[in-house]
Amino acid sequence: MPRAWTLERRPQGLPQAGDFALREIEPSALREGEIRVRNLWLSVDPYMRGRMNDAKSYAAPYALGEPMTGGAVGKVVESRADGFAPGDLVQHMRGWREEAALPADEAQKLPALDVPPQAFLGQLGMPGMTAYFGLLDVAEAKPGETVFVSAAAGAVGSTVVQIAKAKGMTVIGSAGGAEKCAWVRSLGADQVIDYKAGPVLDGLRAAAPDGIDVYFDNVGAGHLDAALAAARLHARFAICGMIDVYNSAEPTRLRYLARVIGARIRITGFLVFDHMHRADEFYRGMGALLAAGQLRREETVVDGIEAMPDAFLGLFSGANTGKMLVRL
């Protein structure tokens, strides 16, 4: 019997093993227009923490006792839908489970790019699209400008670093630990800041003595405050995520927020979903970078559905370099 992870209770702070359960789910018979998919790769993403809360958001919270949802790539094993046949590889949102029956119009065949299937959960998928439109569209980062990106060794951040370098920007990345920082530098970053080794602001002042034009925020809190302190005139901040506060109820203190006035900083929050209709533009742009050898892809792979909550929790302790994935 196929298994799925359910949310059993709403986590307080950092989620605990007992907040989740792995349950056997009776497969339903396919209706007309549906496909059955055997999942091969499951995605864990920081946004899932927000959906575990009972809070209003762009999407409904995960229901208690029900399988959770999320990005997945799998193989069609049965089809009652035109245009889908057993063996087709698809991506869809019925993750956190071994098998899914879903309407075919909620699944997409994988684009014809020369990458392995799981790349469509990372650099060529939702996180990659977040990096691409967040940097180029939301922050309007331009060649010659100085870009600071936090969580630079993660899925989104490492893609921001590489797109920015390919577009002729100067890049400063922050990450936790010397090893991750060395990897971020190997991607082309001009300067790296190990935020675990000292205050971010000290590192940023040393890395960018003339300040930054763009801040791509994945972390919030102290990183955001340092970026405010270091912002140049007319800097743009793309607020992508604030992982530092996802498990915390503490208020964020921003000592340098008032700089937004004098430096005329533009701070814009964004959601990748508002840019999904531009997927073709994204695949073309990233396809060109891939063809030019300007994109490296890194994955941290956890094996087996049993380990999925650990993989998810690993996002909050920095267990991943590049995209965190679960392989079934």
Q: Which residues bind ligand NAP (CB under 6 A)?
A: 45-47, 127, 130, 151, 153-157, 175-176, 180, 218-219, 240-241, 243-244, 270-272, 315-316, 318, 320, 324
CB 200 within 8 A of CB 176: no
Question: Per CB under 6 A, which region of 46-54, 69-77, 82-90, 283-291 contacts ligand FER?
Answer: 46-54
Cα distances from 323 to residues 11, 51, 109, 126, in angstroms, run 24, 20, 21, 11
Out of 50, 61, 111, 314, name the contact with ligand FER by CB under 6 A: 50
Sequence letter at residue 42: L
First vs last Cα of the chain: how many Å apart? 15
Indicate which of ligand FER, ligand NAP, none lies near residue 58 (CB less than 5 to 8 Å, by partner kind): ligand FER
Closest to ligand NAP by CB, 14 or 288: 14
33 φ, ψ (degrees, to nearest 5): 90, 0
Report, in angstroms and rounded to the nearest whole number, the Rg of the chain calculated over CA atoms: 20
Q: Is 287 helix (H, G, I), strand (E, B) or coil?
A: helix
Question: Which residues 6+ apart lie within 8 Å of 144 measured at CB?
Answer: 168, 169, 170
Binding mask 142-181 for ligand FER (x = CB under 6 A): ----------------------------------------
Indicate which of ligand FER, ligand NAP, none lies near residue 100 (CB less than 5 to 8 Å, by partner kind): none
Indicate which of ligand FER, ligand NAP, none lies near residue 176 (CB less than 5 to 8 Å, by partner kind): ligand NAP
Q: Closest separation between CB of residue 316 and ligand FER, Å?
A: 12
Q: In the numeric block, which tokens belong to residue 225?
A: 């405050």
Q: Closest separation between CB of residue 254 and ligand FER, Å?
A: 19
Closest to ligand NAP by CB, 197 or 291: 197
Question: Per CB under 6 A, which region of 44-52, 159-167, 181-189, 306-314 contacts ligand FER?
Answer: 44-52
Closest to ligand NAP by CB, 101 or 193: 193
- How far is residue 96 CA from its own chain's centroid? 16
Out of 241, 285, 309, 322, name the contact with ligand FER by CB under 6 A: 241
DSSP-derived pairing of the beta strands 231-239 and 212-217? parallel
CB 204 within 8 A of CB 191: no
Residue 57 found at the interface with ligand FER (CB under 6 A): yes
Please give the residues from 254 up to 313 whose contact with ligand FER meets the rule CB under 6 A: 271-272
Q: In the numeric block, which tokens belong to residue 271?
A: 């959601």
Q: Closest separation between CB of residue 128 and ligand FER, Å?
A: 13
Q: Is 110 helix (H, G, I), strand (E, B) or coil?
A: coil
Number of residues that bind ligand FER (CB under 6 A): 8
What is the 3 state secondary structure string of 47-82? HHHHHCCCCCCCCCCCCECCECCECEEEEEEEECCC
Q: Which residues pair with 89 in a beta bridge?
A: 75
Q: Which residues bind ligand FER (CB under 6 A)?
A: 46-47, 50, 57-58, 241, 271-272
